[in-house]
Amino acid sequence: MQAELTAIIEPAPEGGWWAICSDVPGANGQGETVEEAKDSLCAAVELIFEDRREDMLRGLPSTAIQETF
């Protein structure tokens, strides 16, 4: 299974490109090229998901079972 997210990429007024992902509030990226903007956005999404996962895991009791599926 693979999740798909939509990137919205626009030219930045000061030059380069600006990218956002409306599926992940707060996720944005920028770069001199479209590819750099997408890479920057992907890195931002990964950081946000990692932070949210760590927050959720902090509240779990030691008896909780964690499984990857």
Over the stretch 24-58, which tens digit does the pLDDT of each residue have? 999 999 999 999 999 999 999 999 999 999 998 88
pLDDT at 3: 82
Identify the band that residue 1 occupies on the pLDDT scale cut at 50, 70 and 90: low
- 31 in any annotated domain: yes
- 60 in any annotated domain: no
How many domains, the chain?
1
- 43 in any annotated domain: yes
SS3 (DSSP) at 57: helix
- 63 in any annotated domain: no
- 66 in any annotated domain: no
Domain extent, residue 38, equals 8-55
Distances from the Cα of 14 to the Cα of 32, 33, 42, 60, angstroms: 10, 13, 22, 45
- 28 in any annotated domain: yes
pLDDT at 22: 93
- 61 in any annotated domain: no
Task: Look up the pTM and report it.
Answer: 0.81
- 30 in any annotated domain: yes
